Amino acid sequence: MSIVADDILHRPRHLDMPLKDDATDAFERLTGTVGDVTADDPKMRTANVDVFYGAKQAIHDVSLDIGNNEVIAMIGPSGCGKSTFLRCLNRMNDTIPSCRVTGSMSLDGEDLYGAELDPVLLRARVGMVFQKPNPFAKSIYDNVAYGPRIHGLASNRAELDDIVVDSLKKAGLHDEVKDRFEAPGTSLSGGQQQRLCIARTIAVSPEVILMDEPCSALDPIATARIEELIDELRQNYAIAIVTHSMQQAARVSQRTAYFHLGKLVEVGDTNQVFTNPRHELTENYITGRFG
C-alpha cells in the first residue's frame, strides 16, 4: 500500500482539507473559540451559527460580533467557511436553495432571518464588496446612482449628483473619473472598478460593509489604495473583510478572526493574533505551516 492511499484512509471523512497529523489532532481537540468574540460596540452579533449546504455542514457553531468603527478581518485556509459566514451576514446565500442557516444573527438587535427584516432592506443596510470587481454594464455615474435610485434616496437630480460625487470622493475615485461620468464602468482598470464598486456600496449609506477578498484580483498598488480607503471608511462604518493575505489582515484590521474548516478557532486583537496566537492551529496558519 502506498503512502497516498494510507493517508486518505486514515483521514476523518468530513475533512476535505489535507492536514498534517498534529493539525488534525489539534482540530479534533478543538472545542470552542479561543479569545473574546464580542466587540466593544457591537453592530452585528451572531451566536451559534451553523450553515449547511444540503447535508454538508459548512459552518460549525460560530459566534462573532462585528463592532462599530472597526475592521474585523476573517482569515483562514481556503474552504474554511469565512466567505460563507460573510455572505450569511447580508443573506446573499438565500438564493442557494440547499443552503440552511441556524443560530442567531442580528443587526442592531434585529434578527437577520426574522420576519421584520426584509432581505432587500437588510442589504441596503449591510453593503457588500465582492472578490471580483463587478460594475454594472452602465455608465460610471449610473453605477453609483443605481442604489440611491432604487431606494429613492434622492428627491431630485441635484441631490443624486451630490450623492454620486460624495461617494466617488469617499472611494477615492472622483479625481480619476470626474471628466467621464458617462463612460461605461467596465472601461475602468481593475483597481478603479473595485473602487467604483466600493463607491456604489457607500452610495446607499449602509451601516456595515462586508468585503469578500476585495483585493484578490488587484495589483499591489491598487491594493494599497483600497487598504487606505478601508482605513478611512472605518470612521463611519462597521467593516468585515475576508482576506487571504495575512499582511493585509494585519495592516487594515483591528480584530482578527481565524476560521478553520468551518469552525471559528480564535478571535482577538489583530496585534495579539499575529504576534502571540493562542491556539496551535492559528499559530500554524500564521507561521505558514499550512494554508
Partner 1 sequence: MSDSDDRTPGEDTGERAPAAAGDEAARLAARRTPLPAATVASAARANDEPEGVPTASEVARAADADASDRGSRTTAKVRASLRKRYAAERRFRWYGIVAIAASLGFLALLLTSIVIKGTPAFSQTFLKLEVALDADTLGVTAESTPAELRRANYAGIVKSAMRDRFPDADGRSEKKALYSLVSTGADYQVARRVAADPSLIGQTVSLWVPADDELGALVKRDADFSRPDTLVTRMSEQQLGWAKELVDAGELDVRFNSTFFTNGDSREPELAGIRAALAGSAFTLLITFTLSFPIAVAAAIYLEEFAPQNRWTDLVEVNINNLAAVPSIVFGLLGLAVFINFFHLPRSAPVVGGIVLSLMTLPTIIISSRASLKSVPPSIREAARGIGASPLQVVFHHVLPLAMPGILTGTIIGLAQALGETAPLLMIGMVAFIVDVPQTITDAATVLPVQVYLWADSPERAFVEKTSAAIMVLLAFLIVMNAVAVLLRKRFERRW
Q: Which residues in this chain contact partner 1 in the complex, by CB under 8 A?
A: 1-4, 7-8, 11, 16-18, 20, 53, 58, 77-79, 81, 83-84, 90, 92, 95, 97, 120-124, 127-130, 132, 134-138, 146-147, 150-151, 184, 186, 197, 200-201, 203-204, 262, 289-290
> Half-sphere exposure of 284 toward its Cβ, with a 13 Å CA cutoff?
20
In Å, what is the CA distance from 37 to each residue of 66, 72, 246, 258?
9, 11, 20, 11
Q: What three-state secondary structure class fits 282?
A: helix
**Cβ closer to partner 1: 36 or 159?**
159
**Which residue(s) pair with 240 in the sheet?**
72, 210
Minimal distance, residue 263 CB to partner 1, in Å: 13
Minimal distance, residue 24 CB to partner 1, in Å: 12
**Cβ closer to partner 1: 109 or 288?**
288
**Cβ closer to partner 1: 115 or 221?**
115
**Cβ closer to partner 1: 56 or 178?**
56
CB neighbours (10 Å) of residue 249? 25
Minimal distance, residue 204 CB to partner 1, in Å: 5
Minimal distance, residue 197 CB to partner 1, in Å: 7
Which letter, b or e, does each residue of 173-192 get, where b requires 16 or more Cβ atoms within 10 Å of its Cβ?
bbebbeeebeeebeebeebb
Minimal distance, residue 12 CB to partner 1, in Å: 13
Name the pairing type of β-strands 56-67 and 42-53.
antiparallel
Contacts of 269 (CB under 8 A, 6+ apart): 254, 255, 256
**Cβ closer to partner 1: 39 or 249?**
249
